[in-house]
Amino acid sequence: SSNVALYLIPVAILAPIALGLCITRIYTRLTRTRKLYIDDWTIIAAETLSLTNFLIACSAVAHGWGHKYATFSPTNLVMVMKLQFAVQTTWIITLCLVRVSVALSLLRFGQDLLWRGTLYALIAFQILISSSYIVIQFGQCRPVSSNWEQVADVTCWDITPIVDYGWAIAGVYVLMDLALALMPIRLIRTLTRPTSEKILISFLMALGLLATAIMCAKMTTFNDFGKGDPMQATIKPSMYAKIEEQIGIIAACLPCLKSPAEQLLKRFGILKEHQLTRPSFVNTVPLGDLAKEEDQRSSGDGSVPSRKAEFRVDSVSV
């Protein structure tokens, strides 16, 4: 029997949604501003890695991931372990790029020192933490090949401090996600826009809180490390990790749907024609350029654990 459907079904549903929204975001940006900003390039890189990560995971499924450990041949076992090591590595980088992209997009909405300093600090902190997990990923066991095959003279770090570190960082990331999701409220309150439009903007820009909720759900799996069948027990934390990443991409790209959402709400009578203001607030150009170019603003898995330790980088970090 296999429980891989728990991973494949939600991830396969969200993958085309994330891709479609990313394409829509880039198309909207190019048609309205004729250029891409650094946050656009960052989310493009994140989506590219996300799709690559999903394809690698699908390859692991094709080799048996999700089935009982006892059913694996030695060849398939090594292959699944290699593929899942790649899944973990690409996941770490992808999630880092998603958060950095969100922070970079918010940089354009403020010029004061506190606003920009906070965002730069969040970016630096995210890169630092993700880099630390890359070090853990490749340095936890030496040689690195011991993560997917039996080798002699293996040396591994104690797993307890790494898991404790994951718990601590997960809590920090909750605060980071809340900050990135709620910071736009400061700007929305200053807008001279109808209340209904402010609510719409707030909704589109605060959906990142859903990724925070997924991350909190993933934390409930932390105490299950090393328990159960090693090829099946990793499916659930892997699913949470991947969905968290995909929701992050979706939330980063959703503001580009402000104009279509306005038109839909107008059709249902929730917004009136005279309430729809232009230019759009979401995903605009730097505030320093607004006075001159105001009409150019636009709307803007986990893996199978190593044989040396039942530890998943993408299951104990965000």
At which residue do the structure tokens 């939330």 appear? Answer: 251
Residue 220: count other Cβ atoms within 10 Å of its Cβ: 11
Which residue would you say has higher pLDDT here, 114 or 297?
114
> For 62-79, what is each residue's pLDDT tens digit?
999 999 988 999 999 999
Comparing C-alpha atoms, which of 265, 250, 317 is closest to residue 92? 317
Which residue would you say has higher pLDDT here, 312 or 63?
63
Mean pLDDT of the chain: 81
Over range 266-271, report the average pLDDT. 64
In whole angstroms, give the CA distance from residue 288 to residue 210: 31
What is the token pair recorded at 203?
Answer: 């909704």
Element (H, E) at 142: strand 141-142
Which residue would you say has higher pLDDT here, 273 or 191?
191
In whole angstroms, give the CA distance from residue 221 to residue 107: 34
Contact between 206 and 212 under an 8 Å Cβ cutoff? The reply is: no
Which residue would you say has higher pLDDT here, 32 or 269?
32
Which residues form the domain of 93? 5-315
In whole angstroms, give the CA distance from residue 141 to residue 143: 6
Q: Give the pLDDT score at 126.
A: 96
Which CATH number is 300's domain given?
Answer: 1.20.1070
> For 146-185, what is each residue's pLDDT tens digit?
999 988 889 999 888 988 898 999 999 999 988 888 887 7
Rg (CA), the chain: 21
Comparing C-alpha atoms, which of 146, 249, 256 is closest to residue 204? 256
Residue 273: which pLDDT band, with cuts at 50, 70 and 90? low
Q: Give the pLDDT score at 112.
A: 87
Please determine, for residue 284, whether its predicted confidence score (pLDDT) is greater than 60.
no
Q: Give the pLDDT score at 286.
A: 44
pTM of full prediction above 0.85: no
Q: Give the pLDDT score at 288.
A: 45
Residue 269: which pLDDT band, with cuts at 50, 70 and 90? low
Instruction: State the DSSP code for 316.
Output: S
In whole angstroms, give the CA distance from residue 31 to residue 44: 17
Which residue would you say has higher pLDDT here, 181 or 134?
134
Please determine, for residue 315, whether its predicted confidence score (pLDDT) is greater than 70.
no
Which residue would you say has higher pLDDT here, 263 or 30?
30
What is the token pair recorded at 226?
Answer: 């090393």
280, exposed or middle or buried, with CB in 10 Å at 0-12, 13-18, 19+? buried
At which residue do the structure tokens 């394809």 appear? Answer: 55
What is the token pair recorded at 240?
Answer: 């949470």
Q: How many domains does the chain have?
A: 1
Element (H, E) at 156: strand 155-156
Query: Omega into 279 within 30° of 0, i.e. cis?
Result: yes
